[in-house]
Copies of this chain bind each other. A is one copy, B any other.
Amino acid sequence: MGSTENSAEELVLSNDPLHPANHICELCAKFYTLGWVTGTGGGTSIKRDNHIYIAPSGVQKELLKPTDMFVMDYATKQYLRRPQALKPSACTPLFYAAFQHRGAGCCIHTHSQWAVLVTLLVEREFGKEACFEIEEMEQIKGIPKGKGQIGNLGFYDRLRIPIIENTAHEEDLTESLEEAMENYPEACAVLVRRHGIYVWGDNVHKAKTQCESIDYILQLAVEMKKLGLPWTK
C-alpha cells in the first residue's frame, strides 16, 4: 500500500469542482455550518466507478483538503490511496454497505442533534427497536420511495426511518445497519441511537438533498414535541 502512496496523487488532484476529492471538501464545509460534523464528527463518501473516496477520521471537516482523501477500490476493498498521517474513517464499512446493498453513489453520515434527539424521543415513547415515523409533511416528498420503486414518497405516505442501537466502535454498527437495510427496503437512511444518521442516495445530489430533507423533518419533529404536537394521526 505504501508503494502506491506517491503514484496515487492523480486520484485526488483535479480542477473539476465536482471531482469526488474536491466535492467532499465542499460538502463537508457546508455540513459544518449546518452543525452536522462538529468536532471532526460525521463523514462523507462518494463512489465513482470503482473508486470510493472517503473523508478521513479525526480531521476538522470544514478544513478538509483533497489530499486528505482515502481512495478504496470497490472490488478489492484495498486502499488505492492512504494518506500516511491520517486514520481511515471508522464509517468506511457502513458507507460500503450503502454502495453494495443499495447501489448508492454517495453516503453522508451526520451527528445532527435533531437525529440524536429524535432517537431518544422514539425510545421513550415506543421503546427500543422502534423506528421513527411521521406523515403529512410536504418535505416527505423529498424522500425516494426506495429500492426498486421509481419516484418519491407522496404527502400522504408515511416516512419510516429505522433506528439501530449504537455500539462502542463505529465499525461494529455494520451488521445492524445491513439488517436495517434488509428490514426496511424502502429506507434511504438509518438513524443510530444517541449518535446520528446515515443517509445515502444514487448520486451526490440525491444523497445531499435527501439528507437535508430528512434533517429538516427531524428538526420539525423535535420542535413538534416541544409544542405537544403529534407526529402521526
For the complex formed, measure the closest distance between the CB of A37 and the CB atoms of chain B, giving whole angstroms: 10
A226 and B229 contact, Cβ closer than 8 Å, known pairs A41-B139, A111-B138 = no
Contact A213 B38 (CB under 8 A): yes
Q: Which of A40-76 contact B (CB under 8 A)?
A: 40-41, 60
**A213 partner, pick from B41, B194, B224, B225, beta carbons under 8 A:** B41
**What per-residue 1/0 map shows which CB atoms of A106-143 lie under 8 Å from chain B?**
00000101001100110010000000000011110010
**A209 partner, pick from B40, B223, B227, beta carbons under 8 A:** B40
Which of A2-10, A181-189, A214-222 interfaces with chain B? A214-222
Contact B213 A142 (CB under 8 A): no
A117 to B210, CA, bound (A): 21
A147 to B144, CA, bound (A): 41
* This chain's copy number in the assembly: 4
- Which residue of the partner chain B has the closest CB to A223? B117
Q: Which residues of B contact A156 (CB under 8 A)?
A: 168
Q: Which residues of B contact A205 (CB under 8 A)?
A: 60
Chain A residues in the interface with B (C-beta under 8 A): 35, 38-41, 60, 111, 113, 116-117, 120-121, 124, 136-139, 142, 154-156, 166-168, 192, 194-196, 205, 208-210, 212-213, 215-216, 219-220, 222-227, 229
A-B contact pairs, 5 of them (CB 8 A): A38-B139, A116-B138, A120-B227, A121-B229, A154-B168
